[in-house]
């Protein structure tokens, strides 16, 4: 088994605590399901949020799941690039897997699908 990085992102409509936590959890769960991961497979999770998300740390959503209580989760602010996608939570999950890099299923939800259309289109053709 190897440690692989699994990317994902999701957008929210509003900078509201419940919406951000729900979206973060939705993204995290989609990454777990689509890559057939269990809590013991996860080494750590890095989360960034655009500067217009400030009502909550998105990592709180994962930390509140009992099975992930001891998994390191870190939040940071995304670089404030002019014209970048607003209200976006990005995630990098480092996990133990037998998958080859091409087999990893990166997850982009809602408006964040525009960030990596190459990966979203590739998934549609598989």
Structure tokens at 100: 């080859």
DSSP-H helix ranges across 10-113: 17-34, 59-63
Q: Which of 92, 80, 97, 124 is nearest to 37 (CA)?
A: 97
Confirm whether 69 is a catalytic residue.
no
Give catalytic status of residue 75 as yes or no. yes
Known catalytic membership, residue 108: yes
Tell me which of 4, 75, 87, 88 is the catalytic residue: 75
Known catalytic membership, residue 4 = no
Q: In degrees rounded to 5, what are phi and psi of residue 86?
A: -80, 160
The two most distant CA atoms of the chain are separated, in Å, by 40
The torsion angles phi and psi of 61, rounded to 5 degrees, stand at -60, -40
Question: Catalytic residue at 7?
Answer: yes
Catalytic residue among 4, 78, 87, 88: 78
| Among 4, 87, 88, 108, the one annotated catalytic | 108
Report, in angstroms and rounded to the nearest whole number, the Rg of the chain calculated over CA atoms. Answer: 14
Q: Which of 19, 63, 99, 120 is catalytic?
A: 63
Task: Identify the active-site residue in 60, 99, 116, 123.
Answer: 116
Known catalytic residues are 7, 63, 75, 78, 90, 108, 116
């Amino acid at each position: 088994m190897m440690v692989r990085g699994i990317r994902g992102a999701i957008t929210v409509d509003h900078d509201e605590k419940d919406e951000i936590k729900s979206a973060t959890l939705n993204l995290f769960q989609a990454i777990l399901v689509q890559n057939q991961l269990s809590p013991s497979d996860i080494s750590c999770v890095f989360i960034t949020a655009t500067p217009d998300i400030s009502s909550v740390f998105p990592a709180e959503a994962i930390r509140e799941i009992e099975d992930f209580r001891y998994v390191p989760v870190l939040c940071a602010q995304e670089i404030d690039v002019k014209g970048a996608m607003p209200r976006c939570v990005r995630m990098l999950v480092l996990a133990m897997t037998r998958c080859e890099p091409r087999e990893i299923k990166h997850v982009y939800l809602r408006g964040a699908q525009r960030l990596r259309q190459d990966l979203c289109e590739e998934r549609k053709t598989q």
